[in-house]
């Protein structure tokens, strides 16, 4: 199970240009936000000490985090068979590939969030970024859902949704549209940027954090997330995710801490 960590939202002040955060900004944002969003990502890494005659260095083995609920807990909306493949094979493969790619490099001693930050926007480290980001994205996705989820948020989050989207129905419409219209593989996100809630989508392993945004909620729209249960009916999966699965407690916690 995941243990929540303190969340610290970071607002970027300096930009390399109007669209691309500098590597230093990515590192700063990711190290604080990635390491803290109500997730406990430190549970995904194990520290192991290896010594030599002259010094002692620390290596980091990234491990597959457990699901925050039983594999059957989201049925009939997401089946245990889907989790068997999605979590047990796909997510695990990203973890295993990441460990292989960073073995023997200066990233071997880094936490997951540090690896993401160091490899973002670096074409020579694209493979490392893709696997590290997917380890994080999937962990965030599992926590974005819960048994008997869906419904509507309450309190400050609902007030903010109404302020920035007009009403909750408009949010649902835009979030579903982001997931359905993401061409190919990717993710739909609810993010906080510049004090405003926004809906965005990213392809493949891309993530809001490396664009200066704070993620609050995500929906995986890679086919392996839904194909066993929904085949090619991505709109049905997206609607079910919104109506029956969203963990609004998790989203609200992320929002409240990000606004502090």
Q: Is 260 buried (19+), middle (13-18) or exposed (0-12) by CB count in 10 A?
A: exposed
Nearest in space to 227 (alpha carbons), one of 65, 75, 85, 72: 85
Same-domain pairing of 160 and 211: yes
Q: Is pLDDT above 80 for 237?
A: yes
Same-domain pairing of 176 and 136: no
pLDDT tens figures, 62-110: 999 999 999 999 999 999 999 999 999 999 999 999 999 999 999 999 9
pLDDT at position 81 is 98
Domain that holds residue 65: 23-71+79-143
Domain limit, last residue, from 143, 164, 188: 143
Cis amide leading into 209 (omega within 30): no
Same-domain pairing of 133 and 159: no
Report the DSSP beta bridge partners of residue 61.
Answer: 46
Residue 2 lies in a domain: no
Task: Evaluate if pTM is beyond 0.85.
Answer: no
Same-domain pairing of 137 and 31: yes
Residue 180 lies in a domain: yes
Q: Is pLDDT above 50 for 42?
A: no
Residue 130 lies in a domain: yes
């Amino acid at each position: 199970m995941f243990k929540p960590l303190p969340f610290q939202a970071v607002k970027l002040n300096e930009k390399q240009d109007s669209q691309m955060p500098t590597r230093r900004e990515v590192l700063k944002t990711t190290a604080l936000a990635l390491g803290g969003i109500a997730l406990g990502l430190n549970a995904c890494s194990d520290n192991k000490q290896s010594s030599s005659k002259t010094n002692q260095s620390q290596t980091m083995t990234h491990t597959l985090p457990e699901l925050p609920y039983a594999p059957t807990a989201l049925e009939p909306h997401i089946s245990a068979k889907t989790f068997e493949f999605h979590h047990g094979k796909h997510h695990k493969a990203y973890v295993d590939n990441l460990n292989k790619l960073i073995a023997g490099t200066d990233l071997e001693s880094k936490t997951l969030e540090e690896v993401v930050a160091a490899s973002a926007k670096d074409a020579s480290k694209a493979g490392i970024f893709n696997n590290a980001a997917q380890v994080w994205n999937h962990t965030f996705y599992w926590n974005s859902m819960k048994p008997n989820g869906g419904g509507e948020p309450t309190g400050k989050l609902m007030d903010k949704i109404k302020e920035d989207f007009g009403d909750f129905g408009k949010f649902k419409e835009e979030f579903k549209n982001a997931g359905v219209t993401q061409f190919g593989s990717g993710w739909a996100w609810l993010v906080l940027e510049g004090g405003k809630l926004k809906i965005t989508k990213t392809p493949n392993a891309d993530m809001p954090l490396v664009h200066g945004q704070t993620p609050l909620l995500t929906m995986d729209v890679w086919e392996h997330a839904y194909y066993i249960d929904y085949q090619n009916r991505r709109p049905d999966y997206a609607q079910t995710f919104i109506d029956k699965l969203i963990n609004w407690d998790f989203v609200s916690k992320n929002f409240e801490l990000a606004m502090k």
